[in-house]
Amino acid sequence: MNLLSIRNIKKTCATVALCGLMSACGRGDHLGKPPSFSNPLETREHSAMVSASLPLTVDEVGPADRASLWSGQRSSLLGDRRAVQRGDIMTVVIEIDERAEISNETDRSRSGTESLQVPQLGGLPQRLDEKLPEGASSSDLVSITSKSGSSGDGSVKRKEKLTLRVAATVVDVLPNGVLSISGSQELRVNFEMRELLVSGYVRPEDISRKNEITYDKIAQARVSYGGRGQITDVQQPRIGQQVLDAVLPF
């Protein structure tokens, strides 16, 4: 075993030990107890609610507008209460029911034959035949036959169905009026925590009068539905096994 192999083994062992330590620290949150909720005071949603951004335009509102029930203000009777500014809350409706089926088939074959004969080459074949064993001949010096074939067949079937609703907060208003939203939801049942995360960019005009927006109208939508806890830890392979699966070439 050379020096390079020893160094690679030491580096792999150090990586496995570091990953194992990090994994143990992450699981220490729910050893013998339910997983803890994340701190809502440290989220982007809370920051957007407590520190509103400066408005791009300033609208002058008189006393008559504040007292009128028919003004365009959000507090009026017919005012638009959809989320349009930083800190506002809207409902994101996630209804995914997709199915994809792909099938591919390929077939290819090739054959070739080559033959080289030298019956007369200055009398050399005749002299060579005298020294060859009985039944052997040098008239056909080269004869090549090749044949190759390949075929492939593949199919992909996917079916996904997900129905969720989560409240998201406007965390930023871009200069072009597009809203940046972010939402999270945590549900703990016994020793298992279910997490739902959603983020993306929406246009104010795509928000319905019910202050809702569907996931297909969210640009750069990022939806994550997973969990953490004792059951999730058991279902996942160990860190050492994951590292070996990535390192070993066979």
Task: State the Rg of the chain over Cα.
Answer: 36
User: Where would I find the H helices in 62-220?
Assistant: 63-67, 124-131
User: CB within 8 A of 21, min separation 6: which ones?
Assistant: none
What the block records as the tokens of 174 is 């871009």
pLDDT at 125: 66
What is the signed CA dihedral for 56, 60, 63, 68, rounded to 10 degrees? -70
- pLDDT tens digit string along 70-124? 665 666 666 677 888 888 899 999 888 888 888 878 777 777 776 656 555 555 6
In whole angstroms, what is the distance from residue 106 CA to residue 231 CA?
43
211 Ramachandran zone, left/alpha/beta (phi>0; psi -120 to 50): left
Sheet bearing 89-116, strands edge to edge:
212-214, 89-116, 142-173, 179-189, 192-202, 219-229
* Structure confidence by residue, pLDDT tens digits, 147-159: 777 777 788 888 8
DSSP-based three-state secondary structure for 153: strand
φ and ψ of 230, to 5 deg = -70, -40
The pLDDT value given to residue 24: 47
pLDDT at 213: 93
Helical H runs in 147-238? 230-235
pLDDT number for residue 21: 45
Residues of the chain with pLDDT under 70: 1-33, 52-79, 114-127, 129-131, 135-144, 250
Mean pLDDT, all residues of the chain: 75
Start-to-end CA distance of the chain, whole Å, equals: 19
CB contact at 8 A, 70 and 77: yes
Q: Position 44: which residue type?
A: R
Structure tokens at 150: 């390949």
Rounded CA-CA distance 65/67 in Å is: 5
CB atoms within 10 A of CB 199: 19
Residue 169 near residue 89 (C-beta atoms within 8 A): yes
